[in-house]
Structure 1
Amino acid sequence: MKDKHIRSLERIVGGPSSILYKKEDLLPYDCDGFTLHKHLPKAVVFPKNTEEVSKLAKYCSDNKLPFLARGAGTGLSGGAIPLNGEVIISLTKMKKLLSIDFENRYAVVEPGFVNLKLTNLISDKGYYYAPDPSSQYCCTIGGNVAENAGGAHCLKYGVTTNHILGLEVVLPNGEIIEIGNNGIPDSLGYDLIGLLTGSEGTLGIVTKIIVRISKDPEAKQTVLAYFDSVADGSRAVADIISAGIIPVALEMMDKIAIEAVEAAAFPVGHPKDIEALLLIEVDGISAGIDEQINQILEVCKKRNVREVRAAQDEEERNKWWANRKTGFGAVGAISPDYLVQDGVIPPSKLPEVLSRINKISEQYGLRIANIFHAGDGNLHPLVLFDTRNPGEAEKALEAGSACLKVCADVGGTITGEHGVGIEKIQEMRFVFNEREIKAQTDIRDVFNPSNLLNAGKLFPE
């Protein structure tokens, strides 16, 4: 039976077809990509425009109903899990490309617009959208803004915040504000775009995004380098970066990760006995590509590279990238459950950190696969476990936390692109003291004074 709040929310979004409230309909919304915690929302509503989002936020605030925004639900840190029985404001119906300005190189999209769809729509004009998380075929740009998503090519081109020129935001009280200057970069005043991007839905609900679009590079080259030891591969990464070479992407996978991707949808024939591989891509003007590749190859040779393959055409390049980008999901082919971590370290510390992660694997008796953006030190240890075995899920969480502690200990941090959510909330104390945490929650309280919007996320209380 509908209570008064359900009836009121239903009226705001235009009828029963735009709201879910029965338990069986709410089950798909009890978690996001972090599946170790599950909580049912009070309801899920599907607004069609900013005005409806504003009215929903105002109603929830006025009636002291906790609420949160949700995109595609691909987040990996629990940021969209309704811990407090929230009303979920799903933005999936707000999925329009509102405008494109090729002359000034920006596009305006709604939050439910899928990341990869933007590149697909503008590629015939010679443009693309640079941030490319592995879930880009289904994740939404609104969700990317909330988490400050990165991707394989962020080494050279930066993460989401480097490509956001303006935002329309609904504050928790329903007020609508616009941040930015009509697509012009570097607006005057405080960097509110930077503050909102990566705030994990705790400050406001993004309802419109102005994104920078980029011109295709003149040329690009992609190579695979195979190593007989993880240590040699990781030292090659550190040497490439310290030599001042900036590839557009520098990805690494270890033997367990290679086993997974070769068992999944896009096998490419990696040697079965290889311990590590680097997927390296450079781009720029045609005249400089070969020189960059030759520099990288010289570094790899000094680190005992076994074999180097160059992509022969765009089809082979795309197959290699499909193999890499299915890495997380591919682990499901070799393990019933896995936990993805997301630490960041100085690239020079990579050999040391991978060695320590291997010891954590031995300590907890759980395999750990490593798939990561090696060039900018964004590690993704995947802890493999089986929830059918009593205590293994808890051990996986402890092992994941230990991996993040190692990252913090060497001068890194606990997340590069997946966010804190609820998964890493206690690990925030690895990098911030209580005074620093309070300074940040004080900022949250300016935007979200009643803490009704996505409460219990990002900061330990």
Structure 2
Amino acid sequence: MGTDALLTELREALGKDAVLADPEVIDSYARDMMPLAPSGRPLAVVLPSDVAGVQATVRACAAAGVPIVPRGAGSGLSGAANAVDGCVMLVMTRFDKVLEIDPGNRLAVVQPGVINLDFRTAVEKHGLFYPPDPSSYDWCTIGGNLSTNAGGLCCVKYGVTTDSVLGLEVVLADGSLLKTGRRTVKGVAGYDLTKLFIGSEGTLGVITQATVALRPLPQAPGTLVAGFDATEKAGEAVARIVRDGLVPSLMEIMDASSIKAAETYLNTDLGAGSDCMALLLCQSDAGGEVARRELAAIEKICVDCGSTMAYATDDLAEGRMLMQARRVVLTALEQYGVWLTDDVCVPRTRIAELISACERISQEVGLRIAVVGHAGDGNMHPTIVYSPDSPEEFERARRAFDDILDVGLSLGGTVTGEHGVGKIKRDWLAREIGPVGIRVHRQIKQALDPDNLFNPGSMFSMS
């Protein structure tokens, strides 16, 4: 089947407005937010609105030998949703309905095109809570979160996306619809196929629906901020908090460069002082006296570890202001250039070593590197800033990106905590999991997608 015949078949099956081939339009869907990742030129963009449309697209592309790259909002940071030449971009944003909210069983059924924040708002009306909250939660989609196993600021207490998913519906490479998982709290029948598809970056199938577990809506959080004149002291505080069995709902860390950028951008003073090298932000959503005791215990640990400033508040407006400083860091760094954010996860006891290594790499490459991250689980986001007009600076940024990954592995960590492998970390995945791990990945891919139809080249190659 030729490309013209394929487009005609897709338009007949899905409608003309669901199949886009205008060059300017399709180019806008060709890549995500990661500038290092390669991308190709799509043949077309297809926007199905029901399962039958997804199945028709998969079957037609399989018959024509045309690859499919599933895509959500494009907020990813690994190139996982980047086009390959001649592919069909299967954009799932029209799957935008919350199909069911079941307060009695604390679950919901949701389509992949629903925006994360919209979904959280919908379940909150029922006194329920959906924990995953990536930094792009106000525009990223549930499907993208599922495909990359996204995390966010609340991971320390509530886990990443996979910890909230009960079951999926997935269109496979032959066009059939697979239903995985359950609606019950417990269930161990068969292989855990649900977790197999979560984090698979669209390489095994197209997710069309998810059944997710919800939690009771937490209490309004109390917030603590602590400043340290040495990164090592902040790292020791994190380790002590974990050792003492405290589980705040959020525990974030910012280095000096991040603090300065956020304060300048927000035109505010976080009260950390000019000598502050690291800022620890914690929240407790346990409510009332329990939250106050939890934050008091964390504050004491910070003071014992040498914090130069420690302050706790249960004022919601004050807490939001402090958390806004953490959430705006990437935007704030745009004052200095464009950014390239990394994603490494290290043991929590080695966070300070990673931040110190990033300071060294920053000096070596001559570029600003700001580090923020989820201290509660060791997932750090070193962000490299460079001039968009300088190819030479871009190459130095690329070198710094790889150097940081190398340090992460050397500290006993992983090359991605939540952004995924995509097309930018394929070699690093192979290095981390080894030849046997890659062989098993390829065997699973071959079993479910023998013609390499879905997102070829993402995560690993088939050769």
Interval containing the TM-score (normalised by the shorter chain):
over 0.9
Q: Which amino acid counterpart does residue 296 of structure 1 have in structure 2?
A: I
Work out whether 1:198 is the aligned partner of 2:199.
yes
Cross-structure match for 1:138:
139
Cross-structure match for 1:6:
7
When residues 266 and 320 of structure 1 are mapped into structure 2, their CA distance, relative to the original with a 3 A threshold, is farther
When residues 313 and 423 of structure 1 are mapped into structure 2, their CA distance, relative to the original with a 3 A threshold, is same
- Mapping 1:245-284, distance limit 5 Å: 245-264=246-265, 267=268, 269-271=270-272, 273=274, 274-284=276-286
CA distance in 2, matches of 1:365, 1:6: 49
Cross-structure match for 1:332:
334
Q: Which amino acid counterpart does residue 307 of structure 2 have in structure 1?
A: V
Q: Which amino acid counterpart does residue 446 of structure 1 have in structure 2?
A: A
CA distance in 2, matches of 1:24, 1:260: 35
Cross-structure match for 1:297:
299
Deviation at 1:125, TM superposition (A): 2.7
Structure 2 residue matching 1:305: 3-state secondary structure? coil
**Seq. identity, %:** 36
8 Å Cα contact 1:131-1:159 kept in structure 2 = yes
Which stretch shows the higher mean deviation, 89-98 or 302-311? 302-311
CA distance in 1, matches of 2:329, 2:188: 38
- State how many pairs are aligned: 458
Structure 1 residue matching 2:245: 3-state secondary structure? coil
- Mapping 1:104-183, distance limit 5 Å: 104-183=105-184
Structure 2 residue matching 1:100: 3-state secondary structure? strand
8 Å Cα contact 2:222-2:284 kept in structure 1 = yes
Work out whether 1:27 is the aligned partner of 2:27.
yes
8 Å Cα contact 2:220-2:316 kept in structure 1 = no
Structure 2 residue matching 1:433: 3-state secondary structure? helix
Structure 2 residue matching 1:206: 3-state secondary structure? strand
Which stretch shows the higher mean deviation, 204-213 or 391-400? 391-400
8 Å Cα contact 2:132-2:154 kept in structure 1 = yes
CA RMSD of aligned residues (A): 1.8
Q: C-alpha deviations, 1:97-130, integer Å up to 9, x for none?
A: 1011000000111100011112212223321110
Which stretch shows the higher mean deviation, 394-403 or 201-210? 394-403
CA distance in 2, matches of 1:266, 1:35: 29
8 Å Cα contact 1:223-1:280 kept in structure 2 = yes
When residues 149 and 86 of structure 1 are mapped into structure 2, their CA distance, relative to the original with a 3 A threshold, is same
Q: Which amino acid counterpart does residue 325 of structure 2 have in structure 1?
A: N
Cross-structure match for 1:341:
342
Q: C-alpha deviations, 1:264-306, integer Å up to 9, x for none?
A: 3685645462322111012325342222212211111122212
Q: Which amino acid counterpart does residue 29 of structure 1 have in structure 2?
A: Y
Identify which of 310, 313, 323 aligns with 1:311: 313
Q: C-alpha deviations, 1:335-376, integer Å up to 9, x for none?
A: x22111111111111222222222122222222100100110
CA distance in 1, matches of 2:443, 2:331: 38
When residues 265 and 355 of structure 1 are mapped into structure 2, their CA distance, relative to the original with a 3 A threshold, is closer
CA distance in 2, matches of 1:340, 1:65: 32
Q: Which amino acid counterpart does residue 306 of structure 1 have in structure 2?
A: T
- Mapping 1:77-116, distance limit 5 Å: 77-116=78-117
8 Å Cα contact 1:235-1:350 kept in structure 2 = no
Deviation at 1:24, TM superposition (A): 1.3
Structure 2 residue matching 1:3: 3-state secondary structure? helix
Cross-structure match for 2:402:
401
8 Å Cα contact 1:183-1:210 kept in structure 2 = no
8 Å Cα contact 1:221-1:281 kept in structure 2 = yes
Structure 2 residue matching 1:375: 3-state secondary structure? coil
Q: Which amino acid counterpart does residue 387 of structure 2 have in structure 1?
A: D
Q: Which amino acid counterpart does residue 12 of structure 2 have in structure 1?
A: R
CA distance in 2, matches of 1:175, 1:156: 37
